[in-house]
Amino acid sequence: MNVREVMSPHVYCVRPEVPLSETARIMRESRLGCVPVVTSDELLGIVTEDNISRRALAAQDNLSDVTAGDVMTRGTFYCFEDEELEKAAVVMRERKVDYLAVLDRRRAARIVGVVSARDLDQAANRSRYLT
């Protein structure tokens, strides 16, 4: 089974200068657990619910000044949509992250979704049930 089969294709990206309040609103209204942080040509990191609850609230006195770039998990943690789930699981385990941006290698590494540790767990449980 590959990543494309379990990823969430509904992904919204934000720029690093977007206020965290706007990022949180996007996540709430879209029912997303994370949003990738990008520039016009680069994946910079990802903002998760955990980043908002722990980093933003703990580190800043004035939340109106906090941006997505201030609290994101830095680094380009990603996988490709045509990769096997096991490879994505290895990346998550090694990087100690719960989300990966999913890229389409045929379209200049464009972000086409997000896969979570929960998605991988559910896929594994379905596989066990079917066998």
CA 85: distance to chain centroid? Answer: 16
CB of 27 within 8 A of CB of 33? yes
- pLDDT higher than 60, residue 131: no
Q: What is the pLDDT of residues 34-93, one digit of tens each?
A: 999 999 878 999 999 988 888 767 765 677 788 999 999 998 789 999 999 999 999 999
- Name the residue type at position 90: V
pLDDT at 129: 54
Instruction: Quickly list DSSP for 67-114.
Output: BHHHHSEES--EEETTSBHHHHHHHHHHHT-SEEEEEEGGGTTEEEEE
Query: Rounded distance, CA 49 to CA 92, Å?
Result: 17
Residue ranges and CATH numbers for the domains of the chain are 3-130 (3.10.580.10)
